[in-house]
Amino acid sequence: MFVQLRFQPAPAAPEDAFQLLLDCHGRIRDFSQLALRLARDVESPPRERSEAARRLERYFTEALPRHVADEDLSLAPRLLRAGLSPRGLEALHEMSRQHVDIERLLARLLPTWNALATAPELGPELAAELRQDSMRLAALLESHLLLEEQALLPEARSLLSPEDARAVRAEMRARRAPKAEPRGDEGGR
Ligand SMILES: [Fe+2]
Ligand SMILES: [Fe+2]
């Protein structure tokens, strides 16, 4: 049952940049599993398949790019300035290369999810491609998350100054802050 998938809310505390990144990894794994379930499912009602495809499209269009920006734009430059070990440096470069690979694969999957969301009856027609791409995505994401969790984040946690870690957290929050609606008398400012 795709639509009944419920995610655990992020813990209120303790909350630091590294915990927030790991919380994101949990959600990435949840959606990766949802993609696999959708690809393998042949029996759920069309409305459920459609909703699952829409949620996947939304998550990988909106949320994942924010996490990639957290790592490439907020974390990476501070780690480079702080002086990573050669192993950490290699992991950082590999992380960014993998972000590009994941983005390329998503460029194939997003239109398929969009098509399924709009017309779930296309399922049988899209099944082979969807299954192959979803399995590739799950494998790519899992090896990517493990690289970060094992070869990068532990060193990053001990290397970054508290000020830098707070700055990363502030930038992460700013990316997720609701955009303020312009008020009538401020609209043009
Ligand atoms: Fe990443
Ligand atoms: Fe990550």
- Ligand 1 centre to CA of 64 (Å) is 9
Residue ranges of domains in the chain, CATH in brackets: 14-172 (1.20.120.520)
- Ligand 2 centre to CA of 139 (Å) is 14
Looking at residue 9, what DSSP letter applies? Answer: P
Residues 6+ apart with CB under 8 A from 107: none
Distance CA 81, CA 160 (A): 9
pLDDT at residue number 6: 52
Buried b (16+ CB within 10 A) or exposed e, 42-54: eebeeebbbbbbe
- Give Dmax (Cα) for the chain: 54
- Give the number of the ligand closest to the Cα of residue 99: 1
- Ligand 1 centre to CA of 51 (Å) is 26
Tokens encoding 70: 């957290």
- Give the number of the ligand closest to the Cα of residue 156: 2
Q: pLDDT truncated to tens, each residue of the chain (189 aa)?
A: 555 555 555 544 457 999 999 999 999 999 999 999 999 987 889 999 999 999 999 999 999 999 999 999 999 999 999 999 999 999 999 999 999 999 999 999 999 999 999 998 888 888 999 999 999 999 999 999 999 999 999 999 999 999 999 999 999 999 999 876 665 444 334
pLDDT at residue number 124: 83
**Segments in 119-177 forming alpha helices (H):** 123-147, 153-159, 162-176
- Ligand 1 centre to CA of 68 (Å) is 5
pLDDT at residue number 135: 97
DSSP 15-72: --HHHHHHHHHHHHHHHHHHHHHHHH--SS-HHHHHHHHHHHHHIIIIIHHHHHHIII
